[in-house]
Amino acid sequence: MKRVLATLLLLSAPAQAQVSSTAAPVANSSGSVTNQAVQVVPSQQFTNTYGGGISCQGTTLSINPFLTTTKSWDSPYEATFDDPVYDNSTDENGNLLNPGDVLYYRPIRTGQKTNYAINGGITATISIPLDRAHIRSCQKAAEKQVALLEQQLADKRLNHEIARLKNCGELLRKGISFHPKSPYRGICADVVISNPPGNLPPHIHPISSVKTSEVPDAPEQTAPQQSSAPSSR
């Protein structure tokens, strides 16, 4: 009977339980990141100048190759570290005989090394002027300016050739010329002197001799007959 009562008391008594749980996850991570960027700055467009204050801009294509290098290392550098090996010998009951005693140290590689990185590439930018009407007007003005410069060059060339012709002609009339071996002899090589209009240059005409036997006889001339008129008495 006593055992039954004790069993009922145990089953009916409130049960008190203490639960203690501690969750403390720890996560450690370390690393290094190197960011490299290449900045492309639009440059001024190419400008073509034609003189006379005319300058036109056109479409510009800019290609820029680049090469970057990086080098990273740890300081101080340690190739290995000593890992202690403890004395784990125990007695019959499993107790350590020499707790904390180090038998020897073994070298462990750290894996520390110098890192190199080489990056290369090409950047390209294209710049297009938006005001196309003014660009076309500027190109037309540039064409006119080029034609004007060519005409001025032809005018100066004509003046040069006329002055050369005049000076070379006057010098050649006076008997003055460059030496045949002179490097400047070709300056007047194409100048030709001719007689001025209205002047007869000295010249010689050959006269062939004629034999008298070859001269034709002159025709005989007869005297005119006089007519006598009757006289009146």
**Chain-wide mean pLDDT for the chain?**
77
* Residue 37 token pair: 């960027």
| 155-190 residue pLDDT tens | 999 999 999 999 999 998 888 989 989 999 899 988
pLDDT band at 20 (very low <50, low <70, confident <90, very high): very low
| Average pLDDT of span 140-158 | 93
* Residue 19 pLDDT grade (very low, low, confident, very high; cuts 50, 70, 90): very low
Cα distance between residue 135 and residue 127, in whole Å: 14
Q: Over the stretch 131-142, which tens digit does the pLDDT of each residue have?
A: 888 888 988 999
C-alpha distance from residue 202 to each of 79, 100, 205 (Å): 113, 139, 10
Given a cut of 90, whether residue 218 has pLDDT beyond it is no
For residue 21, pLDDT over 80 is answered with no
Tally Cβ neighbours within 10 Å of residue 93.
5
Pair 65, 120: CB distance under 8 Å = yes
The answer to whether residue 231 scores a pLDDT higher than 60 is no
Average pLDDT over residues 16-33: 51
pLDDT at 229 over 80: no
H or E stretch at 52 = none
Reply yes or no on whether the pLDDT at 117 is more than 50: yes
What pLDDT does residue 43 have? 58
pLDDT tens digits along 51-82:
888 888 878 888 888 888 888 888 888 888 88
| pLDDT (average), residues 219-224 | 55
pLDDT over 80 at 85, yes or no: yes
**Cα angle for residues 170, 172, 173 (degrees, 5° grid):** 65
Structure tokens, 23: 């969750």
